[in-house]
Amino acid sequence: MTLSAGIAVPTQIKRVAEAMRAAMRATLDLALPPLCPACREPVAGQGLCPACWSKLSFIARPYCERLGIPFVYDPGPGILSMEAIADPPAYHRARAAVRFDEISRALVHALKYGDRLDLAPMMGRWICHAGRELLAEADALVAVPLHWRRLWARRFNQSAMLAAAISAESGVPVAAAALKRVKPTAQQVGLSRTERAKNVQGAFRVPQESKAAVAGRRLILVDDVLTSGATVDACARALLRAGAANVDVLIFARVAEAVRTSI
Ligand SMILES: [Zn+2]
């Protein structure tokens, strides 16, 4: 036996052991019921357990008709928040399914990092419910894109998964590749409002070959979480510059402290 063969044996054993472990994991995945992404308790169906479900905070009217942020009290129909008047976004209207809290964060993280792609249809249904008025007027959905380097590292874009789920539920088509992230941006986490806006400035562009799919169309941007709104604002600017007739925003979860009205 040569020296190289002697080295090869343990490597082969290691490979066989790895393959066996992978097979065991696959068998366990099939045998075990799915886990609640928030509390890790086994659940009968897919999605959240009843206890976590009851803690979810769905967003409903009264809210600012422009930003979709819930009001403390009902000011009557069509009233805008002070934020929407003082600092209007580039997009027309935004709607979110739920408030960003412990439970919705667990869902977003499970979809984004935990490969729980099975959650996307459920999350998409909730977004469709929150955005039904916007969807009724839309020509196409545009997912907030990842830079190709991050897409390569993560293998999929969670916003594109949500856009596909919304499309399946609503029938509004996805305009894939309508928008490109041309600048690799730092994570927005931990940045101030001004820093976030600066970070994503000039980060998005409509590629030449997608201009026809954008010009004159009513589009809806899709993202998983809205914090300051800087990312969707930069995306909306790029789409409007390329001639989009209207840009609305649909989000799964938004950071939402209840706001006061303009009156
Ligand atoms: Zn749970």
pLDDT higher than threshold 80 for residue 20: no
> For residue 21, what are the contacts with CB-CB under 8 A and spacing of at least 6?
none
Residue 34 CA to ligand 1 centre (angstroms): 11
Mean pLDDT of 236-250: 98
Residue 200 CA to ligand 1 centre (angstroms): 35
Mean pLDDT of the chain: 88
CA distance 244 to 246: 6
Residue 2 is predicted with a pLDDT of: 43
Residue 111 CA to ligand 1 centre (angstroms): 15
Residue 57 CA to ligand 1 centre (angstroms): 14
Residue 119 CA to ligand 1 centre (angstroms): 14
CA distance 124 to 154: 20
CA distance 236 to 49: 36
Residue 190 CA to ligand 1 centre (angstroms): 28
> What does the pLDDT look like over 109-129, one tens digit per residue?
999 887 799 999 999 999 999
Residue 132 is predicted with a pLDDT of: 98
Residue 257 is predicted with a pLDDT of: 74
Residue 6 is predicted with a pLDDT of: 44
pLDDT higher than threshold 60 for residue 8: no
> What does the pLDDT look like over 54-66, one tens digit per residue?
999 999 999 999 9
- DSSP at 181: E
**170-186 CB burial, b ≥16 within 10 A, e <16:** bebebbbebbbbeeebe
Residue 45 CA to ligand 1 centre (angstroms): 12
Residue 4 is predicted with a pLDDT of: 45
pLDDT higher than threshold 60 for residue 253: yes
pLDDT higher than threshold 60 for residue 209: yes
Residue 154 is predicted with a pLDDT of: 82
pLDDT higher than threshold 60 for residue 40: yes
- DSSP at 18: H
- DSSP at 61: S
32, 98, 95, 94: which is closest to 59 by C-alpha? Answer: 98
> What does the pLDDT look like over 130-149, one tens digit per residue?
999 999 999 999 999 998 88
Residue 224 CA to ligand 1 centre (angstroms): 20
> For residue 138, what are the contacts with CB-CB under 8 A and spacing of at least 6?
172, 218, 219, 220, 248
Residue 228 CA to ligand 1 centre (angstroms): 28
pLDDT higher than threshold 50 for residue 193: yes
pLDDT higher than threshold 80 for residue 186: no
Q: How many CB atoms lie within 10 A of CB 133?
A: 12
Residue 29 CA to ligand 1 centre (angstroms): 18
